[in-house]
Structure 1
Amino acid sequence: MLLGCIADDSTGATDLAAVLVAEGMRTVQTIGVPDAGTDPGDVDALVVALKSRSIQPSAAVHQSLAALRYLQERGAKQILFKYCSTFDSTREGNIGPVAEALLEALGEEQTIVCPAYPTLNRSIFRGHLFVGDRLLSESGMEKHPLNPMTEPDLVRVMASQSRRKVGLVRYDTVRDGADAVRTRLGELRADGVAHVVTDVIYDEDLRILGEAAAGLKLVTGGSGIALGLPENFRRQGLLGRHEAGELPEVDGYEAVLAGSCSVATRGQVADFLNGRPGFKLDPQKLADGDGAVEEALAFAQERLKDGPLIIYATAEPGEVAAAQTVLGRERAGELVEAAMAKLATGLVERGVRRLVVAGGETSGSVVSALKVSALRIGQKIDPGVPATVSVGDRPLALALKSGNFGTPNFLSKAFGFMPGKRP
């Protein structure tokens, strides 16, 4: 194994794995840390998907260090800590605490911090994160139900989460190439800067940063930073170029589970509901027991044979705020994710084998409930979202979508990228 990756949620892990496959690395994604001694097979990169983005920082650190130990046991030469391209986090973490714990465990002094991916409309200039043409704090992420992002200056955000110094490599240095970036990293290291935010405007900038990061044991960022890492191994004669394997066909009923309340997912749910059946979950009703879940499954049972359907908790910001006022922010989120886990299990029991899931937290709950241990990565549906098939005796076709990703018709078209058919 050349590259060992630790991702803080399932959809981000799948996004990263898709980038690595496209760049010619044989890649497997696991759900959670595999048991010690588990052999992932003949792979160039392994992506360990955790569910650590929104938990307590100490728990996120514990999980991430467990993943690191497994990857080190498998011989990984470089570690990539992958988080969301919108830097989802709180003032306490979890990006800073995890990055510092990994640096300490690896005996390293410095890493880069780069959530940018211009293909997905995420760019960084003067240390400020933009979503499209808007600052992060004006992009809709300021209303995120779990991790509202109101500060676009990543140097400030990272400094609030970290004990070590934070610095910036500005775009004029990135533009001058990998050697210039390496020189600047050395200057910052001499000044005691451990976390270096990097400006990025174009995808090619990510390849420059990847080349500059060849000597770092730890790299942190979004999936885009992986664009430039495989070529470093080729320069060393350690990596060939491998074509992505085809996914096996999976036949069965089709369903969508949507827990994200992002702007993108709200539009995708509205598009899907234009002519297709849907059942909307109310978090306040979920607090009363499993009645709403049973009602949703009965709704699905009657309609699965007619084509894809959706069960969703996606709602407008005002509805989300109302539920959080009554239930509390954490409790409202926990109720939705627990319901999605039960729904996934119930749908599979009713013959669903082809499943699209919208939302990082939702995807983590779903794959955990379905006991998915690993995924094969297939064709890209949209940037950041490939089709996948679970590894095991009864495979499932899955598309795990981050809340902010995908074109407006993503939910409507995703099943067309999954080999197989409805009964």
Structure 2
Amino acid sequence: MLLGAIADDFTGASDLANTLARGGMATMQFVGPGRGKVNCEAGVVALKTRSVPVEDAVLQSMDAARWLLDQGCEQIFFKYCSTFDSTREGNIGPVAEALQRLTGADVTVVCPAFPATGRRVFMSHLFVKDKLLSESGMENHPLTPMTDPDIRRWLRYQTRGGVGSITLDTVREGSGAIRSRLRDELTDGNRLVVVDAIEDEDLMTIGEAVADHALVTGGSGLAQGLARNFARHGKLSGIPADVPVVTGPGVVLCGSCSLASQNQVACHLQNHPGLSIDPAAIVRGTMSVEIAARWVASNAADNPIVYSTTSPDVVSFVQQRFGREESAKILEDFFGSLAKRLADSGTRQIVVGGGETSGAVVEALGLKHMTIGAEIDPGVPVLVSEYGRSMRPIGLALKSGNFGSPDFFAKALDRIAGHE
């Protein structure tokens, strides 16, 4: 293994794995640390640590990093969302500092930019398309509301050490200028450094500047440059992964309430049946996994969608009634159990919207590793794994809430089945 990566959620892991595979690296995605030795050039460990307590996030990330280092990887990459999803307490800063201690990294870049999906960093401020992060809808996120677009300031809430910055002007001067500026920041006591990037070429330049860094952190866009570093040194085999086409009944499960997800659900409902899930109905017992599974079975030929996607006002009401963590757990448990029930009864294609929902689904299915297939939309690939006692392939797409075109769900089901 050349590159060992840790992702703080499941959609982020597949996003990163997609980027590395497109960069020519033989890539495998693991659900938590693997066992024993594995044969790949890039290993991505998917964790569900974005919104857990800080101590748990650090512990799980360190376990993953130790396993990756045991694989002989030359570099560790800590991947977080391109909208920097976190609270004031963490978990990005504390995990990054813990990984610095483990790897011995003296200075580490921080760059969530992903221009292909409209995420850009300028003067240390994160933009989503033409809006500041705090005005993009992310300020209403039910678990990690992003109310400050200044990544440097947000990190300072979370960390013990200094946080510096490198402007776009320096990035445009080239990798040598970035390396020089990183040394200056370290001298000033800043071990985490936010770096501007607004185009893919900026990310390539940053990647070249950190080729010899033990630890790199960022969004999946930054991984483009890391893959190119290994290719430049002739370390990649160039052999693509063998990914089977998966046919059979398909379903969409969406637990994200982002604006993008709301639009995608509405688009899918124009041509496919849908079942809306209310957490209160689950608590009352008027909605259950069994009821939902029967409904899916009766609509199996039409690629149905089961969703809890709704407006921020409704989300706020639900959280006030059940509590933020409890309402999230109700839905995650429901979607995870539903996915397992459907897979056990023959569903072969499962498209999931939302990072937390994706994590719940993958964990419920008990998948250990996944092969990376074709890209559906920027940041979202087809994933194929073996499932159940029969070890039959099952195809998945795990979409972050804000990713994907309006027709993503239908497109994902087509792509899993091998249709262009």
Secondary structure of the residue aligned to 2:116 is helix
Aligned partners of 1:281 and 1:292 also within 8 Å = no
- What are the within-5 Å matches in structure 2 for residues 348-387 of structure 1? 348-387=343-382
Aligned to 2:276: 280
Give the Cα–Cα distance (whole angstroms) in 2 for the partners of residues 328 and 238 of structure 1: 50
Aligned to 2:295: 299
Aligned partners of 1:376 and 1:391 also within 8 Å = no
Aligned to 2:417: 419
Residue 96 of structure 1 deviates from its aligned partner by 0.3
- Stretches of structure 2 that go unaligned for 5 or more consecutive residues are none
Classify 1:191/1:413 alpha carbon distance in 2 versus 1 (closer, same or farther; 3 Å): same
Aligned to 1:398: 396
Letter in 1 for 2:60: Q
Aligned to 1:212: 209
Secondary structure of the residue aligned to 1:201 is coil
Report whether the alignment pairs 1:114 with 2:111: yes
Give the Cα–Cα distance (whole angstroms) in 2 for the partners of residues 235 and 261 of structure 1: 41
Aligned to 1:60: 57
Aligned partners of 2:276 and 2:306 also within 8 Å = yes
Give the Cα–Cα distance (whole angstroms) in 2 for the partners of residues 231 and 276 of structure 1: 41
TM-score (norm 2): 0.97
Classify 1:290/1:363 alpha carbon distance in 2 versus 1 (closer, same or farther; 3 Å): farther
Secondary structure of the residue aligned to 2:251 is strand
Tell me which of 339, 344, 348 is aligned to 2:339.
344
Aligned to 1:142: 139
- What are the within-5 Å matches in structure 2 for residues 226-305 of structure 1? 226-240=223-237, 242=238, 244-289=240-285, 291-304=287-300
| CA deviation map 1:123-160 (0-9, x unaligned) | 00000000000000000000001100000000000111
Residue 244 of structure 1 deviates from its aligned partner by 3.4
Classify 1:95/1:319 alpha carbon distance in 2 versus 1 (closer, same or farther; 3 Å): same
Residue 243 of structure 1 deviates from its aligned partner by 5.1
Residue 388 of structure 1 deviates from its aligned partner by 1.3
| CA deviation map 1:261-289 (0-9, x unaligned) | 00101100000001211111101122235
Residue 32 of structure 1 deviates from its aligned partner by 1.1
Classify 1:420/1:124 alpha carbon distance in 2 versus 1 (closer, same or farther; 3 Å): closer
Secondary structure of the residue aligned to 1:405 is coil
Aligned to 1:34: 34
Aligned to 1:389: 384
Secondary structure of the residue aligned to 2:299 is helix
Classify 1:234/1:298 alpha carbon distance in 2 versus 1 (closer, same or farther; 3 Å): closer
Residue 350 of structure 1 deviates from its aligned partner by 2.3
| CA deviation map 1:360-394 (0-9, x unaligned) | 11010001000111111111110000111014522
Aligned partners of 1:301 and 1:350 also within 8 Å = no
- What are the within-5 Å matches in structure 2 for residues 123-162 of structure 1? 123-162=120-159
Classify 1:139/1:243 alpha carbon distance in 2 versus 1 (closer, same or farther; 3 Å): farther
TM-score (norm 1): 0.96
Secondary structure of the residue aligned to 2:252 is strand
- Stretches of structure 1 that go unaligned for 5 or more consecutive residues are none
Give the Cα–Cα distance (whole angstroms) in 1 for the partners of residues 416 and 271 of structure 2: 21
Aligned to 1:188: 185
Letter in 2 for 1:281: I
Secondary structure of the residue aligned to 1:47 is strand
Aligned partners of 2:26 and 2:41 also within 8 Å = yes
Aligned partners of 2:247 and 2:416 also within 8 Å = no
Secondary structure of the residue aligned to 1:229 is helix
Aligned to 2:330: 335
Give the Cα–Cα distance (whole angstroms) in 1 for the partners of residues 162 and 62 of structure 2: 22
| CA deviation map 1:38-57 (0-9, x unaligned) | x322x110000000000001
| CA deviation map 1:72-114 (0-9, x unaligned) | 1100100000000000000000000000000011122210000
Residue 290 of structure 1 deviates from its aligned partner by 7.9
Report whether the alignment pairs 1:316 with 2:314: no
Letter in 2 for 1:299: W
Give the Cα–Cα distance (whole angstroms) in 2 for the partners of residues 254 and 127 of structure 1: 42
| CA deviation map 1:13-36 (0-9, x unaligned) | 00000100111000000011113x
| CA deviation map 1:235-267 (0-9, x unaligned) | 334234x25334212222110000000010110
Classify 1:338/1:67 alpha carbon distance in 2 versus 1 (closer, same or farther; 3 Å): same
Letter in 1 for 2:310: A
Residue 295 of structure 1 deviates from its aligned partner by 1.8
Aligned to 2:23: 23
Report whether the alignment pairs 1:6 with 2:6: yes
Give the Cα–Cα distance (whole angstroms) in 1 for the partners of residues 380 and 209 of structure 2: 27
Residue 191 of structure 1 deviates from its aligned partner by 1.3
Give the Cα–Cα distance (whole angstroms) in 1 for the partners of residues 307 and 57 of structure 2: 27
Residue 294 of structure 1 deviates from its aligned partner by 2.2
Give the Cα–Cα distance (whole angstroms) in 2 for the partners of residues 245 and 78 of structure 1: 22
Deviating above 6 A after TM superposition, structure 1's stretches of 4 or more consecutive aligned residues are: none
Tell me which of 73, 79, 84 is aligned to 1:82.
79
